[in-house]
Every structure is written in C-alpha cells, then in structure tokens.
C-alpha cells in the first residue's frame, strides 16, 4: 500500500492541467512529424464544408486543423512568427517545442522544479546561439544563393519541382540585383500561380503580371509608353450609401436627367486625357456607359484589379492610387515602357506591364496541374522570398543535413558535464531535443534509428568534420560536398522561438476556463 502511495506521489508532481498541456504538445508533434523534410508525407485535411486540402507545410497543417486547445493556438502563433520573420522552419519549430516540453515533463517527474528547467533552457539557448555565430559561414557566390534557395524548396517539393522553382526564384532576384545585396529586391518579385498545366511550363516574365480582361475587346492589346492612373473608388454615379429621392413632374425630364449623369461621367473621363493618362486601372467597378468613350479615347482600361497587384504596379511604375478621378493629378501617374496581354493554354487573359520607371520588377509565373495546388504553392514561394530577404540582410549559412544540430548536441553534452547541479540534466535534455530534429528527418527518409545513432557516435561531429545526413542514400556523409545549406537567420529564429514557446508553456501551472464559469453563473 505504501509503495503504491509513493508511485502516486511521483506521478502527482504534474497536476491535471500540466499533464493536459504536455500531452497536447506531444500529440501535435506526433501529428506533424511524418510531414517533416524532403521525404515527409503529405496530409489530407477535410473541413466542415467538405473541402479537402493536400498539405505538408507546418503552418498550413496547424491552420487547417482548427485546434481549440490552447497549446494548438500557441503552436499556430509559433508558426506565424516563423513565417513572418524568416519564411521557413515551421515544422522544425513545432517539433523542437514538442521535444523540449516532453523532456521537461520527464525532468519534472524526476523532481526537478520548472524554474530550474527554465533556467537551464535559457542557458542552453545562449550556448546554441554562441556556437551558431562561431561556426557560421558567409554567403559569397551565386552558387551559394542557388543552394540556399534549393535547400529551402527541397523540404517542400520533390527533386524536379525544387530544381525548376529554385532556378526561377534565383533568376527573379538576379535579374534585378545581380549582387544580392539589396534586401528590398524580393519586394519587386511577384508570384502568380495558375492551375491547368504542367510545372515544366512555368517561366519568369519581365514585369508585373496579373489576370484580367480589358474593359472592351476593341482596346489595344499592345500599348507603348504607358501613363497609368489608378483609382480606388467605383467610376459611376453612386449614392455613397445615402438614400436619395428625386421627384420629376414632367416625364420628359427623365431622359434629360439620365443624360446629365452620363455627361458628368464623361467629363471625368475626358480629364484623364487632359493630364495625359492612357491607361486606367480601377480597384472597383466602372460604369458600362463609359466603355465606348474610354475605347474611343484610346485609354486602356481594366476594372476590379486586386489590391495586391495594384501595390506591385505602384512599386514598379511609381503610380499613386487616388480615391477618385477628381483627386487625380500629373504626379499620381505611373509610367512603364509597354503594356500587353497574353493568353495561357486555358484561354485565361493576362495583363503584362514591362519596364516600370521607378523600379525593375518581374513575375514568377507558375503552372500547376490543379488550382487547389497552385494556391498552396503560391504561399510557399512567397515565404521563400521572405527567407531570401532575411538572408540578404544577414548573409550567413550553416551546412544542412543536421550538421549544426549534431555538433550542438555533442558540445552541449560536454558542456553540461562541467556543471555540478540539476541543470546538468536539463542541458542534456536540451541536447537530446536538438538531436531529435535531424534524427526525425533521417527516420522519415528511411534510416534505421539504431544504426544512425551508432554511426553518429562513432563519427564524432565537429565544426571541422562536416558530418551530415545524405537522405537520398540513407547514410552519413561529408555534407560539404552536397547542395544543402541553411540560413543562419532561420536557425536563430527557430532556436529562440521554440525555446521561448516551450518556456511559456512550462510557466503555466493551472488552466481556468472563465467562459464556462460565467455560463454556469
């Protein structure tokens, strides 16, 4: 009986709320781990409306899962932080957080206080960042940039897709900034994905591209020396949400009233000619009464242009969107050398603006088999541009394939042996969590877990021995000879965000559902 009570006391070191939090973090890690790395498997998710999504990106998996649990929401915040700041590393961040919490749970059950674990994790984080600064290497050549882009995309796409998309992404930056020194360059790269064709037919197009139809088929499809006006509000007779009532006693006055409205619209259009504009883009609608007049004046017109494309047009051409035609002036116009249209294989019409005077820009035009796939791919490519932007600001890398993680795990274990208190166990737990990241990567590619650990201990990883994972051949190799490198900015954000997230959950002692208590009252 006494032995049973001792066991119960040992388990009770975690209260019910803490057990719930740790178990939730562990389950989320287990759910997402099989999608990790270039050999990770995809997940098919179905929402409440019956729509399905085939995904393997960490942020998207967490988003589509619609977790109600607080830990699920915290993990979503973690992926959003990774995406916003560095554009990559979402699954790694979730897994590291999950591993840290699982090891923290074991240490708490051994009798180690949460604050000791938190102090140990902070010490380990500082050690990890210092080591990263010590072994980082500069990104110098164009080949380094190609490897960086390829490495990021390879974790999400197969070999052929990664090669094609990485070359397009590299060319898009290189064509604007061959030196890769201007961190604003990715802002001038537009991503357009369209389903219904093979990825092999994807291409880089000089200029801004968006799908739209001219207001009239009679409008020219090839315009030189474009002067562009952009309007936000509808170009029509609008009541602006105010109910108006007009009493007309004489029926003959009704046509005159309508003519006066049309005349007012036409005067606004004629003003475009006065300031020299020959292109009009409207974010909202344009009255049908103006179609023939705009065509007669030779003004190339497109309505309902999405704001994301308007922003790209403004950046490239120098145009400034005004609320209405009355506010438009010469200095609001943008300029580009040519506007043309092209049709894709599915007969979709695309507008192309080339050589904006303010800044050179281009568009990665990606084709996919289905539109559903293209929406996800567009988001992933935009994140790759964020990663590139951060890497241009901080141009350093470490070799991939677990090179840094293996070195960190070993050095952290060695460092912990010099500590003569409970933090020694905590630092060892942190090193185990770090090492589980590349081990998970290896297991997903088909490595034998036991053989990997044996070979890893024999290899004795160090900054001068480039030991990493060859996932294709399922063995340890000299990773320096491979094309896999990872930006230091992603590693720093990953270590910092995952450790801070784990610590924030470790600090929670109890859960109080305020809503349910109020409903009970």
Note the pLDDT of residue 248.
Answer: 64
Is 273 in contact with 333 (CB distance < 8 Å)? no
297 and 410 belong to one structural domain: no
Q: What is the pLDDT of residue 310?
A: 93
- Whether 278 and 404 map to the same domain: the answer is no
pLDDT at 74: 95
Contact between 37 and 486 (Cβ < 8 Å): no
How far is Cα of residue 271 from the mean position of the Cα atoms in its chain? 42
Q: Is residue 153 part of a domain?
A: no
Say yes or no: 212 and 194 in one domain: no
- Domain match, 126 and 30 both: yes
Helix axes 90-109, 114-135, angle to 10 degrees: 140
Each residue's pLDDT tens digit, 223-270: 899 999 999 988 876 555 445 566 666 666 556 556 666 676 777 788
Instruction: Find the Cα–Cα–Cα–Cα dihedral 101, 105, 111, 116, rounded to 10°.
Output: 10
* Strand boundaries in 160-259, DSSP class E: 189-195, 203-206, 208-211, 222-231
Q: What is the CATH number of the domain that holds 213?
A: 3.50.7.10
Domain identity same for 388 and 406 = no
CB-CB contact of 27 with 33 (8 Å): no
* Pairing mode, strands 203-206 and 189-195: unpaired
Residue 64 burial (C-beta neighbours within 10 Å; 0-12, 13-18, 19+) = middle
The string over 418-434, giving b where at least 16 C-beta atoms fall within 10 Å of a residue's C-beta and e elsewhere, is eeeebbbbbbbbbbbbb
Domain co-membership, 193 together with 120 = no
Torsion of CA 47, 25, 407, 414, to 10 degrees: 180
CA distances from 162 to 27, 435, 441 (A): 30, 26, 18
Q: What is the pLDDT of residue 441?
A: 93
| pTM of full prediction above 0.85 | yes
DSSP 186: G
Q: 494 in helix, strand or coil? A: helix
Query: Which pLDDT value is given to residue 89?
Result: 93
Q: State the Cα–Cα distance between residues 518 and 6, nearest whole angstrom.
A: 38
What domain count does the chain have? Answer: 3
- At residue 165, the pLDDT reads 94
Please check whether residues 213 and 339 belong to one and the same domain.
yes
Q: Is residue 156 part of a domain?
A: no
| Spatial separation of the C-alpha atoms in residues 446 and 250, rounded to whole Å | 86
- At CA 477, angle to CA 474 and CA 480, rounded to 5? 130
Helix (H, G, I), strand (E, B) or coil at 351: strand
> Domain end: 353, 368, 385, which one?
353
**281 and 387 housed in the same domain:** no
Give residue 257's pLDDT. 55
Residue 82 lies in a domain: yes
Long-range contacts of 130-136 (CB under 8 A, 24+ apart): 131/404, 131/407, 131/408, 131/411, 132/398, 132/404, 132/488, 132/491, 132/492, 132/495, 134/463, 135/398, 135/404, 135/407, 135/463, 136/396, 136/397, 136/398, 136/488
Q: Are residues 199 and 213 in the same domain?
A: no
**Does any domain span residue 307?**
yes
- What's the CATH code of the domain at 370? 3.30.260.10
Residue-level pLDDT at 253: 59
Residue 303, domain member (yes or no): yes
Q: What is the CATH number of the domain that holds 476?
A: 1.10.560.10
> Is the distance from CB of 486 to CB of 400 less than 8 angstroms?
yes
Residue 154 lies inside a defined structural domain of this protein: no
Pairing of β 222-231 and β 334-343: antiparallel
182 and 239 inside one domain: no
127 & 14 share domain: yes
152 in any annotated domain: no
Residue 189 maps to a domain = yes
Structural domain span for residue 321: 208-353
Which regions of 344-391 does DSSP assign to beta strands (E)? 349-356, 362-368
* Whole-number Å distance between alpha carbons of 404 and 42: 27
Report the interhelical angle of 90-109 vs 70-85 (nearest 10°). Answer: 140
- What is the predicted pLDDT for the residue at 4? 43
The answer to whether residues 297 and 388 belong to one domain is no
Could you read off the pLDDT tens digit of each residue along the chain, which spans 521 residues? 344 443 444 444 788 888 999 999 999 999 999 999 899 888 888 877 777 778 888 888 898 888 889 999 999 999 999 999 999 999 999 999 999 999 999 999 999 999 999 999 999 999 999 999 999 999 999 999 999 999 999 888 888 889 999 999 999 999 999 999 999 999 999 999 888 788 888 999 999 999 888 888 777 778 899 999 999 988 876 555 445 566 666 666 556 556 666 676 777 788 888 898 999 999 998 888 788 888 888 899 999 999 989 999 999 999 999 998 888 888 999 999 999 888 765 677 889 999 899 888 999 999 888 777 787 888 889 999 999 999 999 999 999 999 999 999 999 999 999 988 899 999 999 999 999 999 999 999 998 888 888 888 888 888 888 999 999 889 999 999 888 999 999 999 999 999 999 999 999 988 877 665 555 44
Q: What is the pLDDT of residue 18?
A: 87
Q: How far apart are CA 503 and CA 494, in angstroms?
A: 14
């Amino acid at each position: 009986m006494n032995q049973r009570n001792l066991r119960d006391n040992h388990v009770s070191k975690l209260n019910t709320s803490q057990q719930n939090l740790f178990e939730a973090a562990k389950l989320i890690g287990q759910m997402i781990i099989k999608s990790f790395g270039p050999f990770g498997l995809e997940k098919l998710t179905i929402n409440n409306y019956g729509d399905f999504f085939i995904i393997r990106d960490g942020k998207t998996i967490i988003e589509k899962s619609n977790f109600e649990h607080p830990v699920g929401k915290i993990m979503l915040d973690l992926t959003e932080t990774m995406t916003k700041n560095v554009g990559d590393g979402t699954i790694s961040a979730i897994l590291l957080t999950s591993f840290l919490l699982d090891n923290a749970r074991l240490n708490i059950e051994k009798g180690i206080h949460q604050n000791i674990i938190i102090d140990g994790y902070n010490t380990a984080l500082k050690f990890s960042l210092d080591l990263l600064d010590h072994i980082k290497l500069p990104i110098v050549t164009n080949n380094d940039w190609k490897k960086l882009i390829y490495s990021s995309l390879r974790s999400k796409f197969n070999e052929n897709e990664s090669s094609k998309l990485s070359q397009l992404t590299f060319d898009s930056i290189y064509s604007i900034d061959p030196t890769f020194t201007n961190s604003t360059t990715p802002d001038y790269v537009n991503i357009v994905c369209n389903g219904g064709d093979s990825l092999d037919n994807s291409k880089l197009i000089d200029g801004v591209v968006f799908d739209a139809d001219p207001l009239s088929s009679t409008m020219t499809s090839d315009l030189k020396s474009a002067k562009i006006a952009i309007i936000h509000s509808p170009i029509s007779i609008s009541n602006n949400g105010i109910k108006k009532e007009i009493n007309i006693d004489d029926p003959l006055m009704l046509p005159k009233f309508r003519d006066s409205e049309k005349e007012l619209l036409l005067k606004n259009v004629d003003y475009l000619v006065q300031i020299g504009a020959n292109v009009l883009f409207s974010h909202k609608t344009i009255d049908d009464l103006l179609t023939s007049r705009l065509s007669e004046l030779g003004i190339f017109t497109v309505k309902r242009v999405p704001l994301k494309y308007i922003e790209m047009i403004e950046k490239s051409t120098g145009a400034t969107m005004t609320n209405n035609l009355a506010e438009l002036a010469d200095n609001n116009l943008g300029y580009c050398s040519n506007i043309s249209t092209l049709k894709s294989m599915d007969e979709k019409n695309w507008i192309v603006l080339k050589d904006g005077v303010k800044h050179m820009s281009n568009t990665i035009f990606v084709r996919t088999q289905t539109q559903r796939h293209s929406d996800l791919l567009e988001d992933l490519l935009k994140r790759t541009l964020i990663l590139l932007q951060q890497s241009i600001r901080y141009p350093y890398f470490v070799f991939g394939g677990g090179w840094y993680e293996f070195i960190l795990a070993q050095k952290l274990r060695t460092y912990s042996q010099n500590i003569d208190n409970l933090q020694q166990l905590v630092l060892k737990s942190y090193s185990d969590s770090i090492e589980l990241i590349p081990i998970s990567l290896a297991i997903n590619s088909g490595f034998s877990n036991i053989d990997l650990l044996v070979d890893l201990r024999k290899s004795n990883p160090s900054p001068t021995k480039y030991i990493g994972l060859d996932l294709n051949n399922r063995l340890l190799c000299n990773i320096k000879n491979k094309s896999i490198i990872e930006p230091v900015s992603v590693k720093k954000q990953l270590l910092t965000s995952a450790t801070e997230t784990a610590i924030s959950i470790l600090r929670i002692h109890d859960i109080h559902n305020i809503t349910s208590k109020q409903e009970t009252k």
